[in-house]
Amino acid sequence: MSYLILCLCPLSFALSFVLTFVVRSLSLRIGFVDKPGGRKIHSNPKPLGGGMAIFWGITLPILVVLGIVHFSTPPHWVAELLSGRATPGANSLPQSLAIAYWDGIRQQTPMALGILAAALILHLLGLADDRRAMGPWSKLVVQLTVISILVIGLDLRSMTFLDHVLPFGRWPSIVVTVLWIACITNAFNFLDNMDGLSAGVAAVCTCAFLATALGISQWFVAAALALLLGSLLGFLCFNFPPASIFMGDAGSMVIGLFLGVLTVRTTYISPDIQAHFASGWYALFAPLIVMAVPLYDLLVVSALRIKAGKSPFVGDANHLSHRLVARGMSRRTAVLCIYLITAATALAAIVLTQVRTTHAAILIFAQTILILGVVALLEQHPIARPNNIAAHPAATDSSPANSAPPGSTIAGHR
């Protein structure tokens, strides 16, 4: 089953690659571009709309699969593939088991359509903001409203044990889930401040979640993650520095929403550990460790802005990527460095879901803290001399995520 799910990745990759190519050409023709000026470093208009390729690279395959499953019965070759047999006419998995998979997909349809509807609303919101900047609080209200409806309407909750610990029913877990998804959505929105950064970090995180989902046989979550990964990689072919197209809020908010929702849908405790939950509860913190770098950037940037008496939604050059460039790295090196840091914490999170002792879990938590400590020390290194800063300008970026003029308040343009 795992290899069938992994086959979805090249499918969405090809779709996203083609869509990005088409959108890039169309955006230039209709003038949907990010123009030079302010703190932006690109000298020519760069097309926007890459988020459309990411969104539809995920959505179209899901809709096609749901349509096939709902209007057909599983053909015999599906049973053969599920049983791992490729020889026609060989004894295969009983058709009844293939039908069981068909029924399982049908049961997941309301959840899938609800998630796609929420992603579509944020996608359209992002397109509107990319076209004409919106106010920060109006965007935040829409985000929280959409996420709240999604969580309550589909009973999409994490930390459900709070239902029995606190005297407020399911509301504590609802609040935690809404805040978690909103934080992840905005973390990747914040991270879209340099070519290839948000999509690349998201791809690394998706790989970690995909490995976890496959390891514990969560096939439907794994399938969605495989589609997300392929779509991100297809877009990265055009967005890796130097980028020829930007995703904008229409892409970064969709990425964050999908990752936030899919982390809630994933059960991080494998079946053999579930029987001894007391010795494996720390696996619940796996998504926090995978997302350590995006969340670190979100918290540090927000704290610096608040400390300076500014709104946390005002774009500036205080992101981790900018601070690394200010201290001598090239922009591409800074992006690759953040990829590697994210991969280091993500690998630790994959191991965390398999450990069975508190001692091992503590070591993994300590490793994550030490990695972030190294990042913090790098950021404290003295800023390069003016002549070096000129060679590696830090206060600019070729992504629209940091393209707002000074003093603007564009939620998501960080």
Residue 169 has pLDDT above 70, yes or no: yes
Q: What is the pLDDT of residue 275?
A: 46
Mean pLDDT of 277-292: 75
The reported pLDDT for the residue numbered 393 is 41
Please say if the pLDDT value at position 239 is more than 70: yes
| Range in 82-86, 120-124, 290-294, 338-342 the model is least confident about | 82-86
93 occurs within a structural domain: yes
pLDDT attached to residue 87: 45
- Between 136 and 56, the more confident residue is 56
What's the pLDDT at 377?
Answer: 85
Task: Look at residue 409 and tell me if it is in a domain.
Answer: no
Confidence band, pLDDT 50/70/90 cuts, at residue 391: very low
Indicate whether 215 belongs to any domain: yes
Domain-located, residue 407: no
Cβ contact 126:253 at 8 Å: yes
Query: What are the φ and ψ backbone dihedral angles of 384, each rounded to 5 degrees?
Result: -60, 160
In a domain, 264, yes or no: yes
Q: What is the pLDDT of residue 319?
A: 85
Q: Summarize pLDDT for 23-41 with one digit per residue, the tens.
A: 999 998 998 887 765 555 5
**pLDDT tens digits for 86-101?**
444 444 445 666 677 7
Which structural domain range is residue 148 located in?
Answer: 2-402
Predicted confidence (pLDDT) per residue in 173-232, tens digit: 899 999 999 999 999 999 998 899 999 999 999 999 999 888 887 888 999 999 999 999
Residue 284 lies in a domain: yes
pLDDT grade, residue 17 (50/70/90)?
very high
Domain count, the chain: 1
- pLDDT band of residue 249 (cuts 50, 70, 90) is very high
Phi-psi region of 235 (alpha: psi -120 to 50; beta: other; left: phi over 0): alpha
Q: Does residue 412 lie in a domain region?
A: no
Residue 330 lies in a domain: yes
- Report the pLDDT value the prediction gives residue 71, as an integer from 0 to 100: 81
